[in-house]
Amino acid sequence: MEIPEWKDVLEAYTRIKSRVHYTPVFTCSAINRISGCEIFFKCENFQKTGAFKFRGASNAVLSLEQPQAEKGVATHSSGNHAAALALAAQNRGIPAFIVMPETAPRVKKDAVSSYGGEIVYCTPTLEARESTLKAVVKRTGAAFIHPYNNFDVICGQATAAIELLEEIKDLDVVVVPVGGGGLLSGTAITVTNLSQGTKIIAAEPKNADDAFRSFKSGVLQPPLKPGTVADGLLTALAPLTFSIVMEYVDDIFCAREDSIINAMRFIWERMKIIIEPSAAVPLAAILEHRGFFYGRRVGIIITGGNVDLTDQRFI
Amino acid sequence: MEIPEWKDVLEAYTRIKSRVHYTPVFTCSAINRISGCEIFFKCENFQKTGAFKFRGASNAVLSLEQPQAEKGVATHSSGNHAAALALAAQNRGIPAFIVMPETAPRVKKDAVSSYGGEIVYCTPTLEARESTLKAVVKRTGAAFIHPYNNFDVICGQATAAIELLEEIKDLDVVVVPVGGGGLLSGTAITVTNLSQGTKIIAAEPKNADDAFRSFKSGVLQPPLKPGTVADGLLTALAPLTFSIVMEYVDDIFCAREDSIINAMRFIWERMKIIIEPSAAVPLAAILEHRGFFYGRRVGIIITGGNVDLTDQRFI
């Protein structure tokens, strides 16, 4: 199991730089007042496909040797990684096979299709998903691109923090959400190499706190029936991301469901940007742990903006 | 009735430049594909108080001589101008008296209060509004700042287009919504002076088409029971704005209600920014008049982002 080094991240950035949006950093005086700290939001909701996942997917697709690339890429996901991989593959002119449960929301199927991804349906169980993916890979020869337990994906996700730290100097803390840990791992590598004095904090829904339990115990813990509105964070750490998190991350703070929804609505209303619930977890965690952040300069990566605004839990 | 000249606009920009946000210009490849033209969105939804109105209100407040300023400012409005005037007054340390109907939504009352505005309630009729305002002005000596039929307000609104044209060169058309015509008048003066080849088009809801009827007939027309989701555009042109519109504006295009809602949702979903219905009228008008805009470089001013996301008409 190879952990990415700083040079791997820099190579990834060179590879994808011209293919991804350089997203803006926003601030909001109302949020600074209420949180008691100065927050800089790196807006990856404005990234292509509406999420940072396009960075990792692009790096993984562009890293393939040509003979492998021609056979395409495959993954199982119904979320942002699926859409990101489909577009990254389309940009290289190769096929993307996306295994999705038949029950996935229409809007997610449409997103994958609109980027030219080929959807392969399975029944909505973990077993069906994995066996269907195996069959697709066997049939097509496509490369399986895991959403986060993947060297190249982590290197790609690490590039958002490069831009954040280039633009905003002297951050005391960077906070990112943790699900599978791809963004967290990449960000931690970048922050450690570019800004030694900056702490790296992960934010996780209390209702899906496997990373918190793994981090505190030092042993990779299984998820325990996670149930959170932050549906991008239902996944658990994997061996590769767990080892990076244990090495580089300073702490993990959890946030309650009501805090997450309130933080999301607050960002919608005051910053006039649309973010998904997972992207609100860092602000929710900050507001639940004000003492730690008080008076500090804090960077947050807004992970994505793909949300169903008609969801009755949010309004 | 004095029409602002270019030097008045430049003076306004010098006056307010350090007090307003320099808002970003966004583009969206999905919207360009669907519209058949290249659109540049000047995002005044990210302006202080969530709307371009803060420019005009700031210029009006800062233009007052000190003895008058000390008595404060007053207006009747339950919308973006009210919040903008309250904050502009707070920034100068003077009182703002805002006449509002008792029936105004709580969120609008809260916005004015949060910026330190003093709300004076009236019954929800035009007569009550005007007589209450008169009484407030008589009692306090405050200066009445009309939302759009005001020289200094128009000069302030004109500054958004300065930034748009500085950043994006060679626009073929600039499209802005028209209600009372403050933004339209200001934008028209700026475009005429900075970019002679650029056409100025107003966009208006078909269900509140008094500006369209005034423009086509050459005679200022009264509003005819306007009813539109674009609640920032219910107002009618006034003598000052009408004369500027007749002199500088190239055409007015109307948009249906369903087009406005669809355009707003499309911008929410694809651009991940929150805009209010009035701000969607330009895109709606473009999509209803594709032939005119086909292949052109088009600037739009996104007027604001103050919207009730739970409004059942939108979701």
Separation in Å, CA of A309 to nearest CA in chain B: 7
Convert the pLDDT of each residue in B159-178 to its tens digit: 999 999 999 999 999 999 99
Within 8 A of A309 by CB-CB distance, chain B residues are 268-269, 309, 315
pLDDT score, position B146: 97
Contact between A45 and A279 (Cβ < 8 Å): yes
- Report residue A179's pLDDT band, with 50, 70 and 90 as the boundaries: very high
Within 8 A of B274 by CB-CB distance, chain A residues are 268-269, 272-274
Quote the percentage of chain A above a pLDDT of 70.
100
In Å, how far are A157, B46, B76, B184, B232 from B279, measured between CA atoms? 34, 12, 22, 13, 9
Number of Cβ within a 10 Å radius of residue A85: 31
User: Is A273 in contact with B274 (Cβ distance < 8 A)?
Assistant: yes
User: Is B315 in contact with A305 (Cβ distance < 8 A)?
Assistant: no
Residue A172 has pLDDT above 80, yes or no: yes
Of B27, B1, B6, give the one whose Cα is nearest residue B299: B27
Task: Compare all CA atoms of chain B with the CA of A275 and give the residue at the minimum distance.
Answer: B272
Residue A312 has pLDDT above 80, yes or no: no
Separation in Å, CA of B295 to nearest CA in chain A: 23
pLDDT score, position B312: 77
Furthest-apart CA atoms within chain A: distance in Å: 56
User: What's the average model confidence in pLDDT over B7-31?
Assistant: 97
Separation in Å, CA of B234 to nearest CA in chain A: 23
Of B201, B205, B213, B257, give the one whose Cα is nearest residue B237: B213
User: Is A273 in contact with B275 (Cβ distance < 8 A)?
Assistant: no
Q: Which stretch of DSSP H or E encloses residue A101?
A: strand A96-101
A45 CB near a chain B CB, below 8 Å?
A: yes
pLDDT score, position B38: 98
Residue A47 has pLDDT above 90, yes or no: yes
pLDDT score, position B1: 77
Residue B315 has pLDDT above 80, yes or no: no
A6-51+154-302 CATH: 3.40.50.1100
Mutate to test the interface with B, among A90, A271, A272, A273 (most CBs of B within 10 A): A272
Domain A54-151: CATH class, spelled out:
alpha beta
| Location of structure tokens 């007589």 | B131
Q: Report pTM.
A: 0.93
- Between CA A274 and CA A309 the distance in angstroms is 9
Q: What are the sequence ranges of the domains in chain B?
A: 6-51+152-302, 54-150
Helix (H, G, I), strand (E, B) or coil at A162: helix
Contact between B136 and B74 (Cβ < 8 Å): yes
pLDDT score, position A223: 85
Convert the pLDDT of each residue in B47-68 to its tens digit: 999 999 999 999 999 999 999 9
User: What's the average model confidence in pLDDT over B33-60?
Assistant: 98
B273 CB near a chain A CB, below 8 Å?
A: yes
Phi, psi angles (nearest 5°) of residue A109:
-60, -45
User: What's the average model confidence in pLDDT over A113-124?
Assistant: 94
Convert the pLDDT of each residue in B69-126 to its tens digit: 999 999 998 799 999 999 999 999 999 999 999 888 888 899 999 999 999 999 988 8
User: Is B315 in contact with A309 (Cβ distance < 8 A)?
Assistant: yes
Domain B6-51+152-302 has CATH 3.40.50.1100: yes
Task: Compare all CA atoms of chain B with the CA of A272 and give the residue at the minimum distance.
Answer: B274
Task: Compare all CA atoms of chain B with the CA of A276 and give the residue at the minimum distance.
Answer: B272
B46 CB near a chain A CB, below 8 Å?
A: yes
What torsion, rounded to 10 degrees, do the Cα atoms A44, A46, A47, A53 define? 50
User: Is B272 in contact with A275 (Cβ distance < 8 A)?
Assistant: yes
A272 CB near a chain B CB, below 8 Å?
A: yes
Quote the percentage of chain A above a pLDDT of 90.
89
- Between CA B181 and CA B191 the distance in angstroms is 15
Q: Which of A45, A269, A315 sits opposite B272 (nearest CB)?
A: A45
Convert the pLDDT of each residue in B206-256 to its tens digit: 999 999 999 999 999 988 888 899 999 999 999 999 999 999 999 999 999
Domain B54-150 has CATH 3.30.70.3270: no
| Location of structure tokens 């210029």 | B59
Convert the pLDDT of each residue in A194-252 to its tens digit: 999 999 999 999 999 999 999 999 999 988 888 899 999 999 999 999 999 999 999 99
Residue A113 has pLDDT above 90, yes or no: yes
A277 CB near a chain B CB, below 8 Å?
A: no
User: What's the average model confidence in pLDDT over B290-301?
Assistant: 98
B227 CB near a chain A CB, below 8 Å?
A: no
Contact between A272 and A15 (Cβ < 8 Å): no
Residue A20 has pLDDT above 90, yes or no: yes
Within 8 A of B278 by CB-CB distance, chain A residues are none
Within 8 A of A305 by CB-CB distance, chain B residues are 272
Of B103, B109, B58, give the one whose Cα is nearest residue B79: B109
Q: Do domains B6-51+152-302 and B54-150 have the same CATH topology?
A: yes
CB pairs under 8 A between A and B: 37
- What does the mean pLDDT of chain B come to? 96
Within 8 A of B24 by CB-CB distance, chain A residues are 24
Phi, psi angles (nearest 5°) of residue A283:
-65, -40
Q: Which of B26, B272, B315 sits opposite A305 (nearest CB)?
A: B272
Residue A104 has pLDDT above 90, yes or no: no
Residues 106-125 on A with a CB inside 8 Å of B are none
**Token couple for A127:** 């077993």
Residue A258 has pLDDT above 80, yes or no: yes
Contact between A78 and A111 (Cβ < 8 Å): no
A251-255 and A143-144 strand pairing: unpaired
Query: Helical H runs in chain B?
Result: 6-16, 29-35, 53-63, 66-70, 80-92, 106-114, 126-140, 151-157, 159-167, 182-194, 210-217, 239-248, 257-271, 277-288, 290-293
Task: Compare all CA atoms of chain B with the CA of A310 and give the residue at the minimum distance.
Answer: B315
User: What's the average model confidence in pLDDT over B128-146?
Assistant: 97
